[in-house]
Amino acid sequence: DAGITQSPRHKVTETGTPVTLRCHQTENHRYMYWYRQDPGHGLRLIHYSYGVKDTDKGEVSDGYSVSRSKTEDFLLTLESATSSQTSVYFCAIRPGQQMVNYGYTFGSGTRLTVV
Amino acid sequence: GQQVMQIPQYQHVQEGEDFTTYCNSSTTLSNIQWYKQRPGGHPVFLIQLVKSGEVKKQKRLTFQFGEAKKNSSLHITATQTTDVGTYFCAWVDYGGSQGNLIFGKGTKLSVKP
């Protein structure tokens, strides 16, 4: 969708290496999220941000860290990639809480393979 | 946290047949959202329901929120090949978690022409 982009779209990396995924939005939304999607598990929340430098853990945060130094950018870092982190990663944004009838907008995803 | 259970996991239909997916919670939900994800794509927001007994329609899609706000359904009339994908229900937790979206595991729909 227009307004949110993820990079890279695909990445293959070796076990033990650090990896950073980027999410960029042009909507000036306060809330940003990182999800991972795996067969049989649906989408699971990794970390989220409710403002610049305000982040918190989600359901599956172990092995991941995030940073948000600007409203438009939300970075997800795998400090030392493992094969269990092979997945498709989606970033999402949503309007502020006053716009409660709007859904989340997802990026196109990053397919990460750890070998 | 609150979980939403979605059934069935898979559904195979002949084009023109109807399709329904169900989403159930053990506790009352303040809202329910539905998303569609095409193969190889990303989830796309379809609709949000917030009122007890609410029914909304989008062309061949009918969305319902149960009277007790513990279940929801998505019904597609006369499926087409363009309906192929995975349909997710999700619940927005506006409580202590800043409005995080909690997903069901989805129903994967395949349509045979």
DSSP structure string for chain A: -TTEEEE-SEEEE-TT--EEEEEEESS--SEEEEEEEETTTEEEEEEEEEETTEEEE-TT-TTEEEEEEETTEEEEEESS--GGG-EEEEEEEE--TT-TT---EE---EEEEE-
pLDDT for residue B73: 98
Alpha-carbon distance B105 to nearest alpha carbon in chain A (angstroms): 4
pLDDT for residue A98: 59
* A44 contacts on B by Cβ (under 8 Å): 103
Altogether, the residues listed in chain B come to a count of 113
**Contact flag B42-A108 (C-beta cutoff 8 Å):** yes
pLDDT for residue A40: 81
Angstrom distance (rounded) from CA B83 to CA B70: 26
Q: Which residue type does A59 have?
A: E
Average per-residue pLDDT for chain A: 92
Q: In chain A, positions 31-50, which contact chain B (CB-CB < 8 Å)?
A: 31, 33, 40-45, 48, 50
B81: helix, strand or coil: helix
Question: pLDDT class for B3, splitting at 50, 70, 90?
Answer: confident
* B98 contacts on A by Cβ (under 8 Å): 31, 48, 50, 56
pLDDT for residue B99: 75
B29: helix, strand or coil: coil
Instruction: Please name which of B105, B53, B90 lies closest in space to residue A94, comparing C-alpha atoms.
Output: B90
Angstrom distance (rounded) from CA B48 to CA B44: 12
Proportion of chain B above pLDDT 70, given as a percent: 96
Report which secondary-structure segment, H or E, holds B104. Answer: none
* Closest residue of chain B to A56, computed from CA coordinates: B97
Size of interface A-B (CB pairs under 8 A): 61
Alpha-carbon distance A92 to nearest alpha carbon in chain B (angstroms): 10
Instruction: Please name which of A1, A3, A97, A4 lies closest in space to residue A50, comparing C-alpha atoms.
Output: A97
Best probe of the B interface among A59, A106, A108, A111, by most B CBs < 10 A, is A106
Mean pLDDT of B75-97: 90
Contact by Cβ (8 Å): B60, B36: no
**Contact flag A45-B101 (C-beta cutoff 8 Å):** yes
Residue with tokens 């990396």: A13
Alpha-carbon distance B70 to nearest alpha carbon in chain A (angstroms): 19
Q: What is the DSSP letter of B15?
A: T
Instruction: Please name which of B76, B109, B78, B95 lies closest in space to residue B15, comparing C-alpha atoms.
Output: B78
- β-strand pairing of A54-57 with B55-58: unpaired
Angstrom distance (rounded) from CA B40 to CA A108: 9
Per-residue pLDDT of A49-88, as tens digits, reads 989 999 999 989 999 999 999 999 999 999 999 999 999 9
Angstrom distance (rounded) from CA A89 to CA A32: 13
Per-residue pLDDT of B51-72, as tens digits, reads 999 999 999 999 999 999 999 9
